[in-house]
Structure 1
Amino acid sequence: MFSLLLMCVFGLLLRGDAQDRASLWRGNDQSGRCQYTFTVPSPVESSCPQTGGPEMEGLKARLGMLEVLVSRLTGGQTGGPQAVGARAQSELQEALNRAMGERNLLQGEKERLERELGGLQHRMAEMRREMEKLRNTPCPPQTPIVSPNPSVQNSGPARPAGGSSQMSHLTSRPNRQGDSSSLRDSAWQYRHPGFQEVKAEVTEVPAPDRSEDNTGCGELISVGEPVIHKRADNIAGKYGVWMQDPEAISPYGPSMVWRIDTVGSDVRQLYGYEDMEQLSKGFPSKVLLLPEMVESTGATMYRGSLYYQRRRSRTLIRYDLSTESIASRRDLPHAGFHGQYPYSWGGYTDIDLSVDQQGLWAVYSTSKAKGAIVISQLDPNTLEVKKSWETNIRKSAVANSFIVCGKMYAVASYSAPSTVINYMYDTATSQGKTISIPFRNKYHYNSMIDYNLAQRKLFAWDNFHIVSYDLRLGRKQAN
């Protein structure tokens, strides 16, 4: 009761504005006893801080971030190594697949080489057996010629009865000293003419490979099988150009062989080899860095200079090997370049330079020719066009071409193992015609074919392989 009075007095002492807001509660506590509660709002705070205020929200946010971090760390400890292991396993499997693929390729190459080796060994064994057979075979006995007339036996072939006025004239023709006896064939000197059977072996003599003007020129009759001299070691040698100078000038001799690997966008290296043997071994004696980049496989060598097309242009360059500098340059008028009029195999082969008995040539096309092959003879010093011929065969329909004795020959396919040389254009007569001369692309990607005047052969670059072909030239047949 006393406590109730104190609470009433305390309420009377409060300010008037607080009296309206004070409240008194009465209730039982947990033990069942009566409990009085008197509540007066604070004059400073309008309300008590809520448990769900900003502090609690920030604490919840921080706890959430900690939970996320803990979950990530927990996941990294459990799932992380599994993911890393899976990736490592995938990479190892991929590397294993690549290794297996390379192994299979090498195994196939090994089997192919073993087959070739077996074939060569078989051929060598057959050649040895044939040689032994020839050695053991006795020579056939010489049978004397029997004549019906004993008087002329062992006297050689008899002259036909009755003689011949023309033969008499030939046998009696005097020599420079006036003696006609030395011009008589002993086979015709008989006292008693008669008839006898003469047995002789006929040997076929091939037609001469030279024309009547003795320059070594003529029409192409046949091309031999490719002979490999070197296989490139890396992808840069998939296609390129190799050549010899038919009129070499000091300091390089006539046996010097030159090579350019033309794969890549910055082709500048010119490799020189002392001879064909050093080329086959891969030991260059000279490496030159050209001042201008080379475009494709159309380069050639002539009179101590390298002739080539500058990359991405129709500019021709003559590079002097002795001074190792550019001696002259000139644009080939209206010539297509960098893929406008290439050969069918591609490779930006718009301008193809070559050398034969008549000098320096360029095979290309122009917009005026509408893609047809144009042949121009060039001045080797100034690179000026001396004369041009326009053919009626499209350059893109030709796999490659070469010029021999002023005649351009076109190859039908660069990839077919057995193809043909199917077109020839003669600049001497300004006439073209279709032909059919067998030609072999042994390695199925022939990117360069040029006539080599120094060796009278064809030089070619067939899918990493540097090869050459023997040629046979003959007289033009009369129609």
Structure 2
Amino acid sequence: MLWKLFLAACVSSVLQGTLCSTASLHRANDGGGRCLYTFTVPSPAEHSCPEPAAEQELSRQGALQRTEMEALQTRLGLLEALVSRLAGPGGAVGQDGGLEAAYSAAMREKTELQRERDRLEAERQELQSRVDRLGQENSRLRLGQCGFPETPLRDPDQRPPDSSSLDYSSPRFQEFKSEVTEVRAPTHSDSTGCGELVWLGEPESHRKADSISGKYGVWMQDPEPVPLYGPEMTWRLDAVGSAVRQLFGYEDLKQLSRGFPSKVLLLPESVESTGAVVYRGSLYYQRRKSRTLLRYDLRTESVAARRELPHAGFHGQYPYSWGGYTDIDLAVDETGLWAIYSTSKAKGAIVLSRLDPDSLEVLHSWETSVRKQSVANAFVICGTLYTVASYTMPNTTVNYSYSTESGHGRALSIPFLNRYRYNSMIDYNPARRQLFSWDNYHMVTYDVRLGTV
């Protein structure tokens, strides 16, 4: 009967919101030899069967797990939806067919872009041809209106009256081909003495520079060598960079073509641009960011003379049309050492000065009527200055000459080929009767033919 009462009490406790596990049973003697069984159940007022601490923690963790599971299921659902969308008929991934379709579409787009690029390039070339034709006509018109002086200037400081009206500074004009007046070549040429330039051969490449530092530079041979280095000794300076100081020497052109220098000199001061020359055993060059000229003796490997070129522009004030800080360009011919430059007084027109090769002193100067920035390059042959019209056009011309003997200039149209389409240096070597040139990494020479005087 006691267990029935206990069970009934438990059921009653459950129905009232209490747990059986909180009831307690006691057994004891009543002092008369009988067993007494008693049990107690907490009333609702005392406690509502609180869960132990461990069960509360398990319940909390379970709730967190259910929350995380629900979040994970939501994310999985979104991921499945995204994968289904991408792998569908319009998707770019998921199946081989989708990848192939995407690749095919990309290749078709690439092909269309290449066709468009080719079309635009063809249009650009056509426009360039039209610009060239217009430039030629423009040159003819300008010459017809203004012309060049046909008589010497009696006053060295006098300028041609209409030269200021010629806008040689226009960037478009700098690239015009100047085909104006054909030179009538003499019936025979002089291979030893001086004369006017009448013909240039096609460029012969001797070496291609093998790094970006050789995109443009200067190379030369000494037309009047002194003992220690012979006439075949070839010198080269890569002019790309802010601290150009290495001068490479090669025993001859064959060693140059193989790329095996026999001498490497470190110059005491950096070189500015591509205007250097070698003459009578010395390297003549312009010091970087200055109008100072240096004579570096190749035998003693030291500076033998230095002098500022009076009033000369430098570091981008009056360069050739291709740029490159070509403000001062040194040159050598049958008569000696020259400097091609400009000044503020000349207003950008080319000034040609004869220099003393020992002291670098200016002996005499001539001012021309051609703006330095309107031509691609210049060189001197037999005391006459010659300019080249373009540094990028493959078929350009030697378009102007200025005679220091007569003191006047005239237009020319002698074909000149820029085979590699970026000509940054042109110098004359009177001993070899050739032009040395640096054309877009390539070191090339041109044979020269002079007419008799």
Common topology (TM > 0.5) = yes
1:124-273 correspondence runs (5 A)? 207-209=188-190, 216-273=193-250
Bigger Rg, which one: 1
Q: CA deviation at 1:409?
A: 0.3
Given that 1:244 and 1:454 are in contact with CA atoms closer than 8 Å, whether structure 2 keeps it comes out as no
- Distance (Å, rounded) in 2 between the aligned partners of 1:228 and 1:31: 108
- Distance (Å, rounded) in 1 between the aligned partners of 2:412 and 2:287: 33
Structure 1, gaps ≥5 residues long: 1-27, 39-62, 79-92, 98-204
- Distance (Å, rounded) in 1 between the aligned partners of 2:231 and 2:17: 123
1:327-346 correspondence runs (5 A)? 327-346=304-323
- Distance (Å, rounded) in 1 between the aligned partners of 2:334 and 2:263: 27
Q: Which amino acid aligns with 1:269?
A: Q
RMSD (CA atoms) = 3.2
Give the corresponding residue for 1:148.
none
How has the CA–CA distance of structure 1 residues 36 and 286 changed in structure 2, closer, same or farther, with 3 Å as cutoff?
Answer: closer
- Distance (Å, rounded) in 1 between the aligned partners of 2:432 and 2:329: 20
Give the corresponding residue for 1:437.
414
Give the corresponding residue for 1:294.
271
Deviations 1:153-181 (A, max 9, x none): xxxxxxxxxxxxxxxxxxxxxxxxxxxxx
Counterpart secondary structure, 1:290:
strand
Counterpart secondary structure, 2:213:
helix
Give the corresponding residue for 1:367.
344
Q: Which amino acid aligns with 1:218?
A: G
Given that 1:319 and 1:325 are in contact with CA atoms closer than 8 Å, whether structure 2 keeps it comes out as yes
Give the corresponding residue for 1:174.
none
Q: CA deviation at 1:208?
A: 3.4
- Distance (Å, rounded) in 1 between the aligned partners of 2:315 and 2:378: 18
So what's the TM-score if we normalise by structure 2?
Answer: 0.60
Given that 1:358 and 1:406 are in contact with CA atoms closer than 8 Å, whether structure 2 keeps it comes out as yes
Indicate whether 1:420 and 2:388 are aligned. no
Counterpart secondary structure, 1:263:
coil
Identity %: 65
Give the corresponding residue for 2:445.
468
Q: CA deviation at 1:281?
A: 1.3
Counterpart secondary structure, 2:256:
helix
Give the corresponding residue for 2:144.
none
Q: Which amino acid aligns with 2:329?
A: D
Q: Please point out which of 364, 369, 385 is paired with 1:387.
A: 364
Q: CA deviation at 1:475?
A: 2.3
How has the CA–CA distance of structure 1 residues 35 and 423 changed in structure 2, closer, same or farther, with 3 Å as cutoff?
Answer: same
So what's the TM-score if we normalise by structure 1?
Answer: 0.57
Q: CA deviation at 1:206?
A: 5.0
Q: CA deviation at 1:216?
A: 1.0
Deviations 1:77-109 (A, max 9, x none): x9xxxxxxxxxxxxxx9xxx9xxxxxxxxxxxx
Q: Which amino acid aligns with 1:380?
A: P
Counterpart secondary structure, 1:252:
coil
- Distance (Å, rounded) in 2 between the aligned partners of 1:31 and 1:339: 100
- Distance (Å, rounded) in 1 between the aligned partners of 2:304 and 2:447: 33
Q: Which amino acid aligns with 1:209?
A: D
Give the corresponding residue for 1:378.
355
How has the CA–CA distance of structure 1 residues 376 and 34 changed in structure 2, closer, same or farther, with 3 Å as cutoff?
Answer: closer
1:58-137 correspondence runs (5 A)? none
Give the corresponding residue for 1:21.
none
Given that 1:420 and 1:438 are in contact with CA atoms closer than 8 Å, whether structure 2 keeps it comes out as yes
Given that 1:299 and 1:353 are in contact with CA atoms closer than 8 Å, whether structure 2 keeps it comes out as yes
Given that 2:18 and 2:44 are in contact with CA atoms closer than 8 Å, whether structure 1 keeps it comes out as no
Indicate whether 1:281 and 2:262 are aligned. no
How has the CA–CA distance of structure 1 residues 351 and 29 changed in structure 2, closer, same or farther, with 3 Å as cutoff?
Answer: same
Given that 1:246 and 1:302 are in contact with CA atoms closer than 8 Å, whether structure 2 keeps it comes out as yes
Counterpart secondary structure, 1:264:
coil
Give the corresponding residue for 2:331.
354
How has the CA–CA distance of structure 1 residues 344 and 35 changed in structure 2, closer, same or farther, with 3 Å as cutoff?
Answer: same
Q: CA deviation at 1:30?
A: 4.0
- After superposing on structure 2, the runs of 4+ consecutive aligned residues of structure 1 that deviate more than 3 Å are 28-38
How has the CA–CA distance of structure 1 residues 377 and 34 changed in structure 2, closer, same or farther, with 3 Å as cutoff?
Answer: closer
How has the CA–CA distance of structure 1 residues 36 and 455 changed in structure 2, closer, same or farther, with 3 Å as cutoff?
Answer: closer
Give the corresponding residue for 2:435.
458
Counterpart secondary structure, 1:471:
strand
Q: CA deviation at 1:249?
A: 1.2
Counterpart secondary structure, 2:343:
coil
Given that 1:365 and 1:395 are in contact with CA atoms closer than 8 Å, whether structure 2 keeps it comes out as yes
